[in-house]
Amino acid sequence: MKYSYYPGCASEGTGAANYYAFLAVAKALGIELEEIEDWNCCGATVASSVIGEFPAQVVAARNLALAAKKPNDIITACSSCYAILGLANRKFAEEKFKEKANIALKEDGLAYNGNLNVRFILDVLANDIGTEKIAAAVKKPLTGLKVAGYVGCQSVKALYKEYDDPEYPSAMDKVIAALGGQPVDFENRSKCCTGSMALSAPDITITAVHPIIEGAAKAGADIIVTPCPLCQMNLDVYQGKANKQFGTNYQLPVLFITQLMALAYGLSNDLGLKYCVVSPKQKLASWL
């Protein structure tokens, strides 16, 4: 299966581990990823507050137009990129929007008619690849590992019911189970981590991530996994601060779902565990 891959800016920085793990896992599963040539930042949720919504949507749509040179679905492993690209893509169903957006895109010699699908990694894994294939590639089953699958907010809610139930999401748990792990049900599994607020208002983020980590810990999880670079960063990097503020001592490693897959597939070179601030070495000792 072939996809046009949109990595997003986090893949070049704080979410580098996700980038490498995804490439490796895709290879193991026979997913062909062709990176969209010359992709630009999707603008996240902040561009529109600076330039207004329509220009922001067109900035995101430049990537769709670049991808349109091939007929494949677009895939991304970042929740925010998925939300922004997916919502911009939907706008192309409106004739008036399409026409205006194309006038702007023409400035870069580009055009787009809205014919592609924007897909999230969990959607592709659960629905295109399927749990059987995911399970078949496992070399080191994660037997006995209790995993809290934190889906966050945008990945399931922004494009409301596109591939999963926004209130009771199940796609990630299916993947975890296919790897031989034990998905745990926990409180706050789709509560927002406050995303990019971590930089402008870290106090708010610290207060928001604590109940999520606590929910996972109380449900007996050994580790947390997430598909989203911002979620991963906030839960991992701010965990120490949250512990300090709330007088707790949680040490829950936070991995990308792609890293968990790489672990189960025995792809030790592409695990990228060194990026984790809360060390996963102890909890994952039996598989490393």
Partner 1 sequence: MSEADGIRKYDPEFTKRVYQMDNGRWVKKCMQCGICPTTCTLKGMMDHSPRRIIQLIRAGAKDEVLNSNTMWLCTSCYTCACRCPRGVPMMDIMHDLCHLAEEEGIKNNKALMSKVFYNDVANRGRVWEGGLTLKYGLKLGIGNALKLAREMQDVGMEMFKHKRIPIIPAKGIKNPSKLRAIVDKATALAKEEG
Task: Based on the shown chain and the rule CB under 8 A, indicate whether residue 86 belongs to the binding site for partner 1.
Answer: no
Task: Based on the shown chain and the rule CB under 8 A, indicate whether residue 111 belongs to the binding site for partner 1.
Answer: no
24, 101, 126, 147: which one binds partner 1 (CB under 8 A): 101
> DSSP strand E in 187-267: where?
223-226, 254-256
Handedness of CA 214, 216, 220, 221 (dihedral sign): negative
Please, how many CA atoms are within 13 Å of residue 159, restricted to the half-sphere of its CB?
Answer: 22
Task: Based on the shown chain and the rule CB under 8 A, indicate whether residue 38 belongs to the binding site for partner 1.
Answer: yes
* Residue 200 beta carbon to partner 1: minimum distance, rounded to whole angstroms: 4
* Residue 156 beta carbon to partner 1: minimum distance, rounded to whole angstroms: 9
Using DSSP's 3-state secondary structure scheme, residue 75 falls into: strand
Task: Tell me the site size for partner 1, rule CB under 8 A.
Answer: 64
Measured CA distances, 240 to 35, 164, 237, 251, 255 (Å): 35, 32, 7, 8, 16
Judged by CB under 8 A, the stretch of 21-29, 102-110, 120-128, 218-226 that binds partner 1 is: 102-110
Task: Based on the shown chain and the rule CB under 8 A, indicate whether residue 41 belongs to the binding site for partner 1.
Answer: yes
Contact 206, 245 (CB under 8 A): yes
Residue 15, both tokens: 């979410």
Using alpha carbons only, give the angle 270, 271, 275 rounded to the nearest 5 degrees. Answer: 115
Separation of CA 114 from chain center? 23
Q: Per-residue x/- marks for partner 1, 125-144, CB under 8 A?
A: --------------------
Q: Per-residue x/- marks for partner 1, 201-220, CB under 8 A?
A: xx-x---x------------
Neighbours of 287 (CB within 10 A): 18
Judged by CB under 8 A, the stretch of 26-34, 38-46, 120-128, 130-138 that binds partner 1 is: 38-46
| Residue numbers at the binding site for partner 1 (CB under 8 A) | 9-10, 12-14, 16, 38-41, 43-55, 58-59, 62, 83, 100-101, 103-109, 153-154, 157-158, 160, 166-167, 191-192, 194-197, 199-202, 204, 208, 233, 237-238, 240-241, 274-277
